[in-house]
């Protein structure tokens, strides 16, 4: 079964606005990763956050991790049309397997 | 570097046929995985390998076989195709993170498989 669950399932925002999506998981993790998938393409890695980290930044992306609540959030600031994609969280346990959620579909309107 | 390559890009099979999806990586990664992606369900792990000669089952292994004779290649075999195996298949590779666990995964472009 899939460990990560993203919320919301879909998000529509205006260009320039921020987009926030959340990921909840059930069991302990070694790290949590966020990926982007443009329509019909392979997934692209965005950020990896380890279980002992609370926040990481990469450009316009900010990821937080709360292991006590078993949840993570991905914030995209100042969104652009090119950010239109599906975003997935994936949890990694100590056996190196990744478990993906069903994803959040983000649409950025011009 | 070509990264992770997959062939074919598209394939149509009839029920009961067998075929092999090819995956290769040129980054000398230890770990390789096969996933399937169905609408609204994200990616589900089929099989994975932590090195040449070592494979293990993922979440949905039934109907699929894998082998890892070299670091570079990780083919996925469909033994007797069924309509339920219609899906998009992704291969991925990664290395071990210095602090343990898997690092970022590098994905291939995918194979769209239809089983009639």
pLDDT digits (tens, 9 = 90+) for A17-71: 999 999 999 988 999 999 999 987 889 999 999 999 999 999 999 999 999 999 9
Residue A82, class by beta-carbon neighbours within 10 Å (0-12 exposed, 13-18 middle, 19+ buried)?
Answer: exposed
Q: Which residue of A has its CA nearest to B47?
A: A97
Q: Is B60 on the interface with A (CB under 8 A)?
A: no
Average pLDDT over residues B13-32: 96
Among A94, A97, A101, whose Cβ lies nearest the Cβ of B58?
A: A97
A4 band by pLDDT with thresholds 50, 70 and 90: confident
pLDDT: is B102 or A91 the higher one?
A: A91
Short-list B82, B110, B113, B115, CA closest to B23: B110
Q: Which residue of B has its CA nearest to A48?
A: B104
User: Is A100–B44 a contact, with Cβ atoms under 8 angstroms apart?
Assistant: yes
Close Cβ partners of A52 (under 8 Å, ≥ 6 residues apart) = none
Q: Does the structure show a pLDDT above 60 at A107?
A: yes
The token duo for B51 is 């090195």
Q: Is B31 on the interface with A (CB under 8 A)?
A: yes
Average pLDDT over residues B34-44: 90
What pLDDT does residue A2 have?
A: 52
Using an 8 Å Cβ cutoff, are A59 and A77 in contact? no
Short-list A47, A54, A50, CA closest to A88: A47
pLDDT: is B81 or A41 the higher one?
A: B81
> Which residue has 């069903």 as its token pair?
A102
Short-list B39, B37, B52, B43, CA closest to B88: B37
Q: What is the mean pLDDT of chain A?
A: 92
- Tell me which of B24-28, B79-83, B98-102, B111-115 is least confident: B98-102
How many DSSP H helices and E strands does chain A contain? 0, 11
Name, of A89-93, A96-100, B107-111, the range with top average pLDDT. Answer: B107-111
What pLDDT does residue A96 have?
A: 75
Q: State how beta strands B76-78 and B19-25 pair.
A: antiparallel
């Amino acid at each position: 079964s899939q460990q990560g669950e993203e919320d919301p399932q879909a998000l529509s925002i205006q260009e320039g606005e921020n987009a926030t999506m959340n990921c909840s998981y059930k069991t302990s993790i070694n790290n949590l990763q966020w990926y982007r998938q443009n329509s019909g393409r392979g997934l692209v890695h965005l950020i990896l956050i380890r279980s002992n980290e609370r926040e990481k930044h990469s450009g316009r992306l900010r990821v937080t991790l709360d292991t006590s609540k078993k949840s993570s959030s991905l914030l995209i600031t100042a969104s652009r049309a090119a950010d239109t994609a599906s975003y997935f969280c994936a949890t990694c346990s100590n056996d190196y397997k990744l478990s993906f959620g069903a994803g959040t579909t983000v649409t950025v309107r011009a | 570097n070509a990264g992770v390559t997959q062939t074919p890009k598209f394939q149509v099979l009839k029920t009961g046929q067998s075929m092999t999806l090819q995956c290769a990586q040129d980054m000398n990664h230890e770990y390789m995985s096969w996933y399937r992606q169905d609408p609204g369900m994200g990616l589900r792990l089929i099989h994975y390998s932590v090195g040449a000669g070592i494979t293990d089952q993922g979440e949905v292994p039934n109907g699929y076989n894998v082998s890892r004779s070299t670091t570079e290649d990780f083919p996925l075999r469909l033994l007797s195709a069924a309509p339920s195996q219609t899906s998009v298949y992704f291969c991925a590779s990664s290395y071990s993170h210095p602090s343990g666990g898997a690092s970022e995964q590098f994905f291939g472009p995918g194979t769209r498989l239809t089983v009639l």
